[in-house]
Chains A and B, each alone.
Chain A
Amino acid sequence: MTAANQQTFSDETIRRFLLGGLTATEQSGFEHSLFIDEALEERVRLAELELSDDYTANRLSHAERNLFRQRFLLTMDRETKLHVSKALHDNFADRTSIARSGAWQNFTGLFDIRRHAWKYAFATLTFILLLLATALLVRKERSHLVDLPPRRVLPKPSASANPQRANHPPNNGAPTHNESSPTLPLHEGLTTSIVLDSATPLESAPTISTSGDMLTVQLVLDEPFAESYAVNVTTAAGESVFAADALTRSEERTLGFDVPTSSIKPGNFQIALIGVDGEVRRAAGTYYLRVR
């Protein structure tokens, strides 16, 4: 048999031959070639095995499966091939599926809470979270402590040995306070000192208690200053209780004088300050104080 006499058959034709699907003409030519063409013989042998494998692996159509059972599975040899195909499929496909399912089980098993590893992990994680929360809480509390302003203790008013200026400074441009000045504590001792400002109205005037013999008054002077000053202390009703002339500044801006406490009764008092420059006398300010 020469090569020229040999027909070439496709794999599809070979499969149709095995399934009994060739026409009479095709069948006759194929049978003749099968007897003289060794290459075709080998292809058909291999195609038998492949067809059996495909049947086992369910890779045939419904019609092909029927043909396989009716037209192919007619010999003992082919039945044996089918058994081997099943064995191969079971062996390797099962391994694949087992390996696949095993891999999946391993993957899902990693997240199985019942595993001891996960229990330990969760316990450790919980412990760490508790530690962190505690540390955070402590730190926050400390920061609050640091941020807290120191407790302020209101200074207890006390009489000082030196005269002090009360209320607002004389040169303020600030609005006048309408609130009443806190009640000053009683001054214990022989002398009571008070600093008065002409800008302080009667409502805000300091209240004093005359416990000593003399009341030392320091008046904050307003400019222009005079060569000397005269003061007249009167009650709210206008009754003069104390007067003094030719007073000079003891300091640069203040004028001091003493008033006998015997002449001062509880009530409101007004001090009229008069500046004297030679023969000229002028009002230099009015100061208020209250005595209880």
Chain B
Amino acid sequence: MSLPGIGLRFGQGQALPLQKGKMSAAKQLRDLEQSDFDRLLNWLDADRERAGLLYERIRWRLVTILASRGCTLADELADETIDRVARRVADIEQIYAGDKAIYFLGVMNNVHHEYLRRPVAPRLVDTSENVETREQIHGCLDNCLDRLAPYSRQLIERYYSADKKAKIDLRRVIARELGIKPATLRLRALRIREKLQTCIEKCMNASEARPLGRVN
């Protein structure tokens, strides 16, 4: 199974330690067993591949919502939520009816309430990047741009080639040339941008052998 986030958390039948420094008080729980995680995936979907994709999407939603609530430990609380659901799947899988993803939302609310009751040091955001990381990202960007179809590459290059008002004007020109609405052009460009993002993250993981999106 090729799920970066999952694969990094769970090895060959043994739980991996959570990353030091990213561990919150809520994570002072026992590590999740591989069997619990397998049961979780199986509960989400019988097809392992689809289950992995669903898992990733649910995790992303949890992180996004927690961040929107201003939670400075969104990644950690999302993982804690998943851990709790995984441990309870054995109890609920026979009786739970309804959207399984919604179940995660309920558990996340509880985890978040617990988080709000304890003092948490504000997370310092470091938007800087060291030279090595910067060079690595640029190298991966070049590789991923080379993998794009010519049309997509040309589109993304033009879409990002101007700033501010010039960019707005340029995007209108591009949309007119392609015979599409600016909104459609925006969606196309952002989907290519998303592919680039995924490609670059994979490239970074492969070159560094360390996670980017998920660090636990």
Which A residues have a C-beta under 8 Å from some C-beta of B? 1, 17-18, 20, 22, 27, 31-32, 34-36, 41, 44-46, 48-50, 53, 57-59, 69-84, 86-93, 95-96
Contact = CB atoms under 8 A, between A and B. Distances in A.
Chain A contact residues, majority secondary structure:
helix
Given A45-B194, A73-B127, A74-B74, A34 B65 contact: yes
A147 B81 CA distance: 112
B190 interface: yes
Given A73-B127, A83-B133, A96-B162, A91 B138 contact: yes
Contacts of A88: 141, 156, 160, 193, 196
A57 B134 CA distance: 17
Interface stretch (B9-17, B33-41, B86-94, B97-105): B97-105
A81 B196 CA distance: 10
B129 interface: yes
A31 B105 contact: yes
Contacts of A58: 163-164
B123 to A, nearest CB: 7
B102 A76 contact: no
A69 B196 contact: no
Contacts of B162: 93, 96
Contact of A35 (B68, B99, B190, B204): B99
Interface stretch (B42-50, B56-64, B173-181): B56-64
Chain B contact residues, majority secondary structure:
helix
Contacts, number: 139
A215 B162 CA distance: 116
A93 B161 contact: yes
Interface residues of B, number: 53
Nearest to B162: A96
A75 B201 CA distance: 14
Interface string B174-216: 0000000000001100110110110011001000000111110
A73 B61 contact: no
Given A71-B67, A76-B212, A49 B193 contact: yes
Nearest to A18: B68
B147 to A, nearest CB: 15
Given A36-B101, A89-B160, A96-B162, A49 B63 contact: no
